[in-house]
Chains A and B, each alone.
Chain A
Amino acid sequence: MSQEDRKEINLIRDVLDNQLVDRHKQPMGRADGLIIELRTGEPPRLAYIEAGAQTLARRLHPKLSNWVSKLASRFGKDGEPYRIPWSRVHDVGIDIDVGVDAEKTPVMLFEQWLREHVVGRIPGGS
């Protein structure tokens, strides 16, 4: 396969900030961060997509990120932002198709908390 035939993607334009969609076609946040792994003698490897308010906040200001982390821990998230291994990414187009189930990932923790503690308690919510 010649150099030009290899599929290429522009990471900033086509991956970062794009919508993540799970295996059930449900939205699961955005690609707020992209992690590459540096290696000696070899090109850096695409390792993870990071999703979550902490990652997003850090792009705006590092202090904001700390504050968001503290807030997030009250809804059941641990300190670490959620990472999706690049191997789970199936398709990069309008949205990024990811082979996970959103409901089982930390990105939905706040949504689930609200569903249970607030929305579920208001009539007509479900």
Chain B
Amino acid sequence: MKKIIQVALGILTSIGGFLDVGAIATSAQAGAAFGFELIWALVLGTVCVTFLVEMSGRLAAASKHTLAEAVRERFGAKFYFIQYIVEVVVDFLVLAAEIGGVCIALQLVTGLSYRWWVLPVAFFLWLLLWKGTFDLIENSVAILGLVTLVFVAAAVVVKPDWSSVLAGVVPSVARHDTAHYLFIAVSIVGALVSPYLFFFYSSGAVESKWDREYIGVNRAIAVVGMGFGSIVSLGLLVAAAVVLHPRGIQVDSYNQAALTLVQPFGFIGFLLFAASLGITCFGAALEVGLDQAYITAQAFGWRWGESQKPSKDARFSMTYTVVIFLSSLLMVAGIDPLQLTLFTMALSAAILPIVIVPFLVLMNDERYVGKYRNGWISNAVVIFIIGLAFVLAIVALPLEILGG
């Protein structure tokens, strides 16, 4: 019975927490710029993240190690250092973008520039991590995040041509603006397959003291949670495709993205968009901030745990404190949140091989996961998608920088 509740909670968390600033920005951009043509990128990203999240939980449950711990132990300090630096830099940028997302949401509602909201938001983020427990944070993210179901409602209400939607599932070549098309495709994959997710998820599983009994629970949560979560992202893309694309409206700011809900639902839609943006970004910021503390503490072998009082793991707690404060400065400085988000998502895709390859090796290592090793399907799917994302990123990033 208890397991069923945990599965349900886990699924809700995955759905409510699926969207974040990256998924919102890239889905809205994709729909506005290319209609339904990029739905395949969403599908690819979802399939990949489902496999990887499941693997992340399975690693933790089977080996009692988090991903970061296992990588350092297996591959040594020198290799882990490279992965760590890369991960920390990207995490830092993602955190800044998520904080930016929350502040933009507040700007939408109040009219007050996002830069004024940064320090209060950062403080509130910190306060929640300082005083809260892991379960409290995850569960509130889950429940509040369900507001994003409004995007699914919007997609239905705007009456898209469902056969065109279905056609978008098939990968296609760009009909125009190839560089931008590839860039958005890569950004979608980077947004969905966020490297921080795997470190975070395995840390959470260890915090929740999962063991081999939870392998099934983990699988259910990953598949159902990610699957339904992606429908929310799809909803936003479809709504953007119907509302913005025919009018040639590009998403250059979150105001335009908000139109996806304003058109079907009016002013309530606008408020719901702001709520969705604010809540999901806040939840993601909590996770990314925590993630940096997790990977740092685990790299050095410090005591760590969100459910412990900060005085019991001072270095861990100070890590997220410092990181939240520093990354918020990027937003205070006035860096455009939307541009930062899109760039960071593509960067995330580019670093995926560094994170995923050791991960895959571990998932095939009997000494860590015992009989719960990866089947050839898991290996094949992940290798394919990561390889694809990496190639696209190498191609698209320079093109976008040169072109934009």
A and B touch in the complex (CB under 8 A): yes
A17 and B69 CA atoms in complex are apart in Å by 9
* Cβ-defined partner of B78 (8 Å) among A18, A59, A111, A118: A59
Residues of the A chain whose Cβ atoms lie less than 8 Å from the Cβ of B315: 110-111, 114
A119 at interface, CB cutoff 8 A = yes
**Interface residue ranges of A1-18 to B (CB < 8 Å):** 12, 16-18
* Cβ-defined partner of A114 (8 Å) among B63, B65, B131, B318: B318
Given known contacts A119-B310, A119-B318, A56 and B77 CB-to-CB distance under 8 angstroms: yes
Q: Are B130 and A124 in contact (CB under 8 A)?
A: yes
A112 and B311 CA atoms in complex are apart in Å by 9
Given known contacts A124-B131, A126-B310, A27 and B302 CB-to-CB distance under 8 angstroms: yes
A19 and B70 CA atoms in complex are apart in Å by 10
A120 at interface, CB cutoff 8 A = yes
Interface residues of chain B: helix, strand, loop or mixed (majority) = helix
Interface residues of chain A: helix, strand, loop or mixed (majority) = mixed
A26 at interface, CB cutoff 8 A = yes
A62 → B minimal CB distance (Å)? 13
Residues of the A chain whose Cβ atoms lie less than 8 Å from the Cβ of B81: 60
B317 at interface, CB cutoff 8 A = yes
Q: Are A60 and B311 in contact (CB under 8 A)?
A: no
A43 at interface, CB cutoff 8 A = no
* Cβ-defined partner of B300 (8 Å) among A12, A30, A124: A30
A118 and B65 CA atoms in complex are apart in Å by 30
Residues of the A chain whose Cβ atoms lie less than 8 Å from the Cβ of B314: 111-112, 114-115, 118-119
Residues of the A chain whose Cβ atoms lie less than 8 Å from the Cβ of B76: 12, 16-17
**Interface residue ranges of A84-101 to B (CB < 8 Å):** 94
- Report how many residues on chain A are interfacial, defined by Cβ distance under 8 Å: 30
Q: Are B310 and A124 in contact (CB under 8 A)?
A: yes
Chain B proximity mask over A50-81: 1 for CB below 8 Å, otherwise 0:
01010010011000000000000000000000
Chain B proximity mask over A13-39: 1 for CB below 8 Å, otherwise 0:
000111110000011111010000000
Residues of the A chain whose Cβ atoms lie less than 8 Å from the Cβ of B63: 94
B354 → A minimal CB distance (Å)? 17
Q: Are B309 and A126 in contact (CB under 8 A)?
A: yes
A110 and B73 CA atoms in complex are apart in Å by 23
Q: Are B65 and A94 in contact (CB under 8 A)?
A: yes
A34 and B69 CA atoms in complex are apart in Å by 19
**Interface residue ranges of B267-301 to A (CB < 8 Å):** 300-301
Interface centre among B65, B81, B310, B313 (most CB of A within 10 A): B310
Residue on A with the closest CB to B65?
Answer: A94
B91 → A minimal CB distance (Å)? 20
B72 at interface, CB cutoff 8 A = yes
Chain A proximity mask over B201-226: 1 for CB below 8 Å, otherwise 0:
00000000000000000000000000
Q: List 11 A-B contacts (CB under 8 A).
A: A17-B77, A19-B69, A19-B301, A27-B301, A51-B301, A111-B303, A111-B315, A114-B315, A118-B318, A119-B318, A120-B311
User: What is B's interface to A at a CB cutoff of 8 Å?
Assistant: 63-65, 69, 72-73, 76-78, 80-81, 130-131, 300-304, 309-311, 313-315, 317-318
Q: A59-B77, A59-B78 given; name 5 further pairs at CB < 8 Å.
A: A12-B76, A19-B69, A119-B314, A119-B317, A122-B130
What are the 6 tightest A-B residue pairs by CB atom distance, in nearest-first order?
A: A126-B311, A30-B301, A114-B314, A29-B301, A115-B314, A125-B310
